[in-house]
Amino acid sequence: MISARHIAPRETDISIERPYRPLLVIRPQDLPDRRLSQDTAIGLAAQDAAIGLAVRLSMQDTAFGLTAQHAPISLAAQHARRCREALRQLIAGDNPFLLLPDTPDDSRDVTLDCAPDALFETIALCMFSRQYIRVDDVPVLPWQAAPSPGLMRRLQAQGWPEIRQWDLRHAHWLTGQHQVEGLADTIPGATNQPWIFIEGPDIDQTIALEEALHRHCTALLQDNPPLQALLTEKNQLQKKLDTLKSEHRVLQERMHNAETTIGIIRSKYKDDYDTLFSWYQQEYETLPLWYKRFGQLIKVLTGKRTAKSLVLAIRRRLHRHTAPRSPNSHLKKDRT
């Protein structure tokens, strides 16, 4: 059972940033606690072939109002609830995570050539999480057996330009203490901070493996200060580059949207103006002059215009008619 206590920084007091990115392989039902790790450098890889189905079962359970108070619940329903709660915590939490669906779901409806809703929707909702692992803003779907084209199509139809696939056979794995030393030696030479999947026989041993790797890397770097300095600088630069790339993507999208809007405004504002102008011409300008002047009196009576302003306007008009005409006076309009 994993908890904040388990994966928070421990007595090893390792202050050096990890030169790798850990992904603790967990079963969602092992995450019943209300709080996940406070160490946001710890990533989680939720493994369960039946996650989607579990969530769907639990969803129906909630929809029909079957709570623990009302009826005894089956083990399957309990499992489903724990899965759902764990995924909810992952989606809303602060730790980076991803899903490890084993394989395309066998229960898919072949007539529809698409993945079953439960699995598809669960993956998509996880990918909507801010913490779901992305590379260059593209969500990652790891697999041991390639996902079905139907599933990939449905995911991509949600608007991601692509879904990055990770073949887990080519990923870095840490599954036993005997691998720690060898793996730690390869990490500093990696071009990027590598993602490392860590999986022990149970959650406690998984955490112990991560601790061992972290300790080993720390000792290695402490023994070699220039390497440590170089790695730190490289990681900082990488983070800056990633941030700039991300900002660039957002700015590009916003600029594209703004350009589209400007294009629309160019034609639509003109159309709106034409509509407004024709309405004015038809509804007001065609009225006889006496009617419009009578309207000014009504405006004064209803308080929409002051008497003073009307008197001033009349005086101006009279003055214009009595004053000698300037050569360009024919250009002026009577603006009643």
Partner 1 sequence: MPGLTLLIHLYYPGSWSFLEDKCRAVLRKADRIIITACHDDVLNEVVPPEALAGKDNALVRLKVPNKGKDIGGKLAAFSYYMHFCEKTEYIALLHDKVSPQTINADYWSQQLYSLFSKENLPKALQLLEQDHRIGIVGAKAFLKNEYMPSENTFNTTNHQLLMEMIRDHRLHGGIYDFIAGTIFIGRSRIFEQFFSTQSPLDARAKLETGNVLDLETGTYTHSWERLFCFLAEDQGFTIKGI
Which residues 6+ apart lie within 8 Å of 245 measured at CB?
Answer: 136
Closer residue to partner 1 (CB): 110 or 157: 157
63 contributes a contact to partner 1 by CB under 8 A: yes
Closer residue to partner 1 (CB): 126 or 209: 126
Phi/psi of residue 323, each to 5°?
Answer: -70, 150
Please state, in angstroms and as integers, the Cα–Cα distance from residue 93 to each residue in 8, 37, 89, 129, 167, following that order. 15, 9, 5, 9, 26
Closer residue to partner 1 (CB): 53 or 221: 53
The crossing angle, in degrees rounded to 10, of helices 203-222 and 225-280 is 110
Q: 178, 208, 183: which is closest to 196 by C-alpha?
A: 183
59 contributes a contact to partner 1 by CB under 8 A: yes
Q: How far is the CB of 270 from partner 1 (least distance, A)?
A: 11
Closer residue to partner 1 (CB): 37 or 129: 129
Going by the DSSP 8-state scheme, the letter that residue 147 receives in this structure is: P
Binding map of partner 1 across residues 98-137, x = CB under 8 A, - = no contact = -------------------x--xxx-xx--xxx-------
Q: How many CB atoms lie within 10 A of CB 263?
A: 10
One residue of 24, 31, 46, 87 binding partner 1 per CB under 8 A: 87
Q: How far is the CB of 259 from partner 1 (least distance, A)?
A: 10
Tokens linked to 60: 């129906």
Q: How far is the CB of 128 from partner 1 (least distance, A)?
A: 4
Which residues are paired to 44 by β-bridges?
24, 97
Secondary structure (DSSP) of 43-59? EEEEE-TTHHHHHHHHH
Please state, in angstroms and as integers, the Cα–Cα distance from residue 92 to each residue in 34, 99, 126, 132, following that order. 11, 15, 9, 10
Q: How far is the CB of 151 from partner 1 (least distance, A)?
A: 12
Binding map of partner 1 across residues 233-272, x = CB under 8 A, - = no contact = -------------x---x--x--xx--xx--xx--xx--x
Closer residue to partner 1 (CB): 115 or 187: 115
Cα 77 from Cα 277, distance rounded (Å): 66
69 contributes a contact to partner 1 by CB under 8 A: no
Closer residue to partner 1 (CB): 263 or 295: 263
Q: With contacts defined by CB under 8 A, how many residues of the chain interact with partner 1? A: 36
One residue of 26, 44, 55, 99 binding partner 1 per CB under 8 A: 55
Q: How far is the CB of 207 from partner 1 (least distance, A)?
A: 24
329 contributes a contact to partner 1 by CB under 8 A: no
152 contributes a contact to partner 1 by CB under 8 A: no
Cα 144 from Cα 173, distance rounded (Å): 13
Q: Are 173 and 144 in contact (CB under 8 A)?
A: no
140 contributes a contact to partner 1 by CB under 8 A: no
Closer residue to partner 1 (CB): 238 or 309: 238
Which residues 6+ apart lie within 8 Å of 58 measured at CB?
Answer: 77, 80, 81, 83, 84
Tokens linked to 269: 């504002």
Q: Which residues bind partner 1 (CB under 8 A)?
A: 34, 55, 59, 62-63, 84, 87-88, 91-92, 117, 120-122, 124-125, 128-130, 154, 157-160, 246, 250, 253, 256-257, 260-261, 264-265, 268-269, 272
